[in-house]
Structure 1
Amino acid sequence: MKIRMKVNGKHVVLSFVCLVLGFIISYSYQLTQEEDNKGTDRQWERDFAIRDSLLKTEERNLQLQKELLDKQEELRKIEESLATGEQLLFNLVEDAENLRMYNGNVKVEGKGVEITLSDASYVPSEENVNNYIVHEGHVFKVMNELFISGAAAVSINGQRITKNSYIICNGPVITIDGNQYPAPFVISAIGDPKVLIPALNILGGVKDQLVADNITIKMMEKDRIVIDPVIQ
């Protein structure tokens, strides 16, 4: 017994429509997947580019920081060199000023001491008068002790004493750098009186030696002493 199926035209059309619809859905799904994959790839590429840029930026920052530290170190060395140069220049200027002061080329003023050496007020008739007057040796003792104790400048009867000065005794007068001065001899020294006077008063020191030689010595602190430069 044979069964015959009758194909209706509507069935054919419906089948064709379903086939096309299925193809469209399949293609659309595949296209959507490809777009999603492409989107994911693009996002990954963007993320990778951002991370790569951040890494390069961090590396550049580290490089710049190192360069900055190097420049700061160079600047520190330059400043240190300049400071050393300034200190050296200051020392040279100070040394030059001290040299001019010791050579007697500049006026000096400040606190200090004034020492007066006088001949003995009484000379026994049977004694030699030369044993009772001030000689250059007495002046030298006072002057040297003052310089040793830190006096910045010394004058005798207003005559500035320098490294080239000479003192000669001519009887009752003393010649200093060609200028004659009679007693009493006033020795002025600029320096700390709290140092200079004790140095002269030390037991067995300059003062005791002068007294033993019948010399009258007076010492006085001065708040201000002015010693003029040497007249050329």
Structure 2
Amino acid sequence: MKLKKIKVKVKGKNVILSLVFLVLGFMIAFSYHLTQIENQNAPRNLSGNQYEKTLALRNQLIAQEETNRRLQKELTQKQEMVQKNEKSLAKEAQVFLNVAEDAEKYRMFLGKMKVKGKGVKITLSDGAYDPKEDNVNNYLVHEQHVFKVVNELYISGAAAVAINGQRLTSRSYIVCNGPVITVDGVPHPAPFIITAIGEPDVLSSSLNLSGGVKDQLVNDNLVFTLERENEIVLNPILGS
């Protein structure tokens, strides 16, 4: 009976030890699991100094990104200013171009520059003398005849006009002096060749109108000829 009691006591101790080891194993497993969770939430394989350096670099990167966004915004604003300036300069360039074109046009009208272009050439010659006619002046070209042609050319859009190669201006004057006419003080004998730069069809049509300049001059016993020219060259005004 004693032997049996000893065996029961031994078995009881084994159960207690098993329970102790079981609890201890559970505690070790729980501690390991908790450590794993903490390691997952914290940077792996980093010491304290490395973690601080990593955190500092991350903060620097965030600050640099903020700086880049600010600079990008400034760059966008500068680009918008450049575009506005370019548009403004383009408008100014167009204005200067228009001014240059106007200046060239005015120099042409003033006779300050050599010009060439299409146009017409009109020749006015004295009529054939008729012995039955007492007054020979009825067959000569006078300044009023030249004036009629010149005025009609300007009215029809001529850009430049010359008499025997001498350019006319808005202040030009024509005076008849016997068999010659004087243009701005320069004498020119007949025949008088009037050249004009402009649209040939328009200029010729205006002169050839029924009852117009041509008919009036022919009725005054003058010889009137008209030619279209593909290129007429007019030199600057004398003394310009």
- Taking structure 1 as reference, are residues 73 and 150 closer, same or farther at Cα in structure 2, changes over 3 Å only? farther
> Gapped runs of 5+ residues in structure 1?
44-52
Identity %: 49
- Taking structure 1 as reference, are residues 82 and 35 closer, same or farther at Cα in structure 2, changes over 3 Å only? same
* Structure 1 position 135 matched with structure 2 position 142: yes
Residues of 2 paired with 1:76 and 1:163: CA distance? Answer: 46
Residues of 1 paired with 2:210 and 2:39: CA distance? Answer: 109
* Structure 1 position 223 matched with structure 2 position 230: yes
Post-superposition offset of 1:124: 5.1
SS in structure 1 at match of 2:91: helix
Residues of 2 paired with 1:34 and 1:222: CA distance? Answer: 107
Counterpart among 105, 109, 112 of residue 112 in structure 2: 105
- Taking structure 1 as reference, are residues 67 and 225 closer, same or farther at Cα in structure 2, changes over 3 Å only? same
Residues of 1 paired with 2:75 and 2:219: CA distance? Answer: 76
SS in structure 2 at match of 1:221: strand
Residues of 2 paired with 1:69 and 1:194: CA distance? Answer: 57
Aligned-partner residue type, residue 29 of structure 1: F
* Structure 1 position 149 matched with structure 2 position 156: yes
Residues 129 and 136 in structure 2, CA contact (< 8 A), matched pair in contact too: no
1:78-89 equivalences under 5 Å are 78-89=85-96
Residues of 2 paired with 1:196 and 1:157: CA distance? Answer: 18
SS in structure 2 at match of 1:134: coil
Residues of 2 paired with 1:168 and 1:80: CA distance? Answer: 55
- Taking structure 1 as reference, are residues 71 and 221 closer, same or farther at Cα in structure 2, changes over 3 Å only? same
* Structure 1 position 208 matched with structure 2 position 215: yes
Post-superposition offset of 1:70: 5.2
SS in structure 2 at match of 1:8: helix
| Aligned residue in 2 for 1:8 | 9
Residues of 1 paired with 2:177 and 2:34: CA distance? Answer: 128
| Aligned residue in 2 for 1:23 | 24
Post-superposition offset of 1:75: 3.8
| Aligned residue in 2 for 1:166 | 173
Deviation string, structure 1 residues 62-91 (Cα, Å, up to 9, x no partner): x95x77765554444323222212211111
Residues of 1 paired with 2:124 and 2:25: CA distance? Answer: 134
TM superposition score normalised by structure 2: 0.74
> Gapped runs of 5+ residues in structure 2?
44-60
Post-superposition offset of 1:109: 1.8
Residues of 1 paired with 2:196 and 2:94: CA distance? Answer: 30
Over the residues paired in the alignment, what is the CA RMSD in angstroms? Answer: 3.5
TM superposition score normalised by structure 1: 0.77
- Taking structure 1 as reference, are residues 204 and 79 closer, same or farther at Cα in structure 2, changes over 3 Å only? farther
Q: How many residues align?
A: 217
* Structure 1 position 91 matched with structure 2 position 92: no
